[in-house]
Chain A
Amino acid sequence: MNTPSLEVSGLAYAYPDGHQALFGVDLTIGRGERVALLGPNGAGKTTLVLHLNGILTAGAGTVTVAGLPVGRKHMAEIRRKVGIVFQDPDDQLFMPTVREDVAFGPAAAGLRGAELDAVVERALEKVGMTGYADRPPHHLSFGQRRRVAVATVLAGEPEILVLDEPSSNLDPASRRELADVLRSLDVTVLMVTHDLPYALELCPRSLVLSEGVIAADGPTREILGDEELMNRHRLELPFGFVPGSVA
């Protein structure tokens, strides 16, 4: 059996102000899986995400990425392996041009010259943004910016791609384009989202994080179909959406 892309066990965390956000989270994501992380606001989703690449350090428990424990020792390697795409692309894209932004991670890892150019080119190709390398991010549409944000992370050839609300603020066409991109990638994906139809469309498996623990773990269709479970964790489907009716 392959080493899983991500293994979290007994993860607990309290913020410095004493507010406890995670109470022992256990989850395993196998290589190549696409998993949705669902949960109401304040469930601890973002806190969990920030543990995956060691921005926050666990109070208790462990996080292991492709067999490598998240800790000070392997931080550079972990940050390369875990590619987090943040919700606001204007936060994610901090360099003056798309090319420099996509090159940032690999260049920080020491790549230069033609090799670096090739990595950038490949990453932009994967998200369908090849022609935009020399544009400043501010002059792209929101959907394009989000795709570039995905490219900046893909350039590091991550083991696992973590997306925070990937469909937020996207118009339906951009939302669908991003879904096409995500489906075409050969990488493990953990997608934090409130967009339940999107989760169903892209992720065969879902986790429900509620009050700092994993409250459910199973096929997305079953979770979304379990009305009692959904209500208990403040999850609601959009009006008129019936998970069973979607092919």
Chain B
Amino acid sequence: MGAGHAHQLYRRGDSPVHGLPPHTKLVAVLGFVLVVVATPREAVWAFALYAALLGAVAARARVPAGFLLRRLAIEIPFVAFAVLMPFVVPGEQTSVLGVSLSVPGLWGAWNILAKGTLGVAASVLLAATTELRALILGLQRLGLPSPIVQIASFMIRYGDVITDEMRRMSVARRSRGFEARGVRHWGVLAKSAGALFIRSYERGERVHLAMVSRGYTGTMPLLDERPTTRAQWAAALALPLAALPICILGRTL
């Protein structure tokens, strides 16, 4: 598949990682994240090894470090909480550069930061090497219920259509001298949102009509049924399988 204008997270390429069937990659990322989360936070070296593993995958996928790091920024709002922990968690105190910090708080912050960052990095890598559409097909192959797959597919297809409609409504509002400047104007915006909802709902009905006209009976035909080879599974699962002994070692040491 090579749909143009894919989502922003995707990075077009033909690396071995790009070529893997999406469902194997999904399983691999999930496995990797579970292994990372199961690792005790005190095994600091283990997290360094995990990061190195992800680095190896990124290199294989030819995803540049800058690309990866920029997209890691999405994590920032979530780690803000982690930064607070050393200051607010009660317990044994230690002094760093004259500031008194809580030791369990520091460990807690490290735990969230390390595991969160590794999880986000793995997900960013997945998104960078797999198209949105392919991800949904992958979920479908993994047994995600068909209605959810269909809803997600329609979101991809109609997200832009509805955004356009919203933009046109906004242009129409402004052309008649309306500028949303404050609370007083929220009523108008709310009505626009309502109108947009009804328009989208009606479009939904028309789309359904078009689908039924073309033989839709409740399930989407699965178009890509190429079987997955053992080699593809092995390549995808190499990541969690490499991480697993690190985790086991971390737990026993």
Smallest beta-carbon distance A110→chain B, Å = 8
Give which listed residue, B5, B154, B214, contacts A104 with CB less than 8 A.
Answer: B214
Give which listed residue, B2, B203, B214, B225, contacts A134 with CB less than 8 A.
Answer: B2
Q: Is the CB of B4 within 8 A of A138?
A: no
- A159 interface contact, C-beta 8 A: no
- B234 interface contact, C-beta 8 A: no
> What CA separation (Å) do A92 and B210 show in the bound complex?
5
- B161 interface contact, C-beta 8 A: yes
Considering the complex, which residues of chain B in the window 200-253 have a beta carbon less than 8 Å from any beta carbon of chain A? Answer: 203, 206-207, 209-217, 220-221, 223, 225
Please report the total number of A residues contacting B with Cβ < 8 Å: 37
With A136-B3, A136-B4, A136-B5 as given contacts, are A109 and B207 in contact (CB-CB < 8 Å)?
no
Q: Is the CB of B133 within 8 A of A105?
A: no
Considering the complex, which residues of chain A in the window 20-44 have a beta carbon less than 8 Å from any beta carbon of chain B? Answer: none
Q: Is the CB of A79 within 8 A of B212?
A: yes
Q: Is the CB of B210 within 8 A of A94?
A: yes
> Of the 9-residue stretches A83-91, A166-174, A204-212, which lies at the interface with chain B?
A83-91
Interface size class of B (residues with CB under 8 A): 20 to 34
- B157 interface contact, C-beta 8 A: yes
Give which listed residue, B2, B203, B220, contacts A90 with CB less than 8 A.
Answer: B203
Interface residues of A, dominant DSSP = helix
- A179 interface contact, C-beta 8 A: no
Q: Is the CB of B223 within 8 A of A86?
A: no
User: What mask results when residues 104 to 140 of chain A are scored 1 for a CB within 8 Å of chain B, else 0?
Assistant: 1101110011001000000000000000001111110
Q: Is the CB of A108 within 8 A of B213?
A: no
Closest to B131 in A: A96
| B residues at A contact (CB < 8 Å) | 1-5, 133, 153-154, 156-158, 160-161, 203, 206-207, 209-217, 220-221, 223, 225
Q: A96-B157, A104-B211, A136-B4 are in contact. List 20 more A-B contacts (CB 8 A).
A: A53-B213, A79-B213, A79-B214, A82-B213, A91-B206, A92-B210, A94-B154, A96-B156, A104-B214, A104-B215, A104-B216, A108-B221, A112-B225, A113-B225, A134-B1, A135-B3, A135-B4, A136-B160, A138-B160, A156-B215
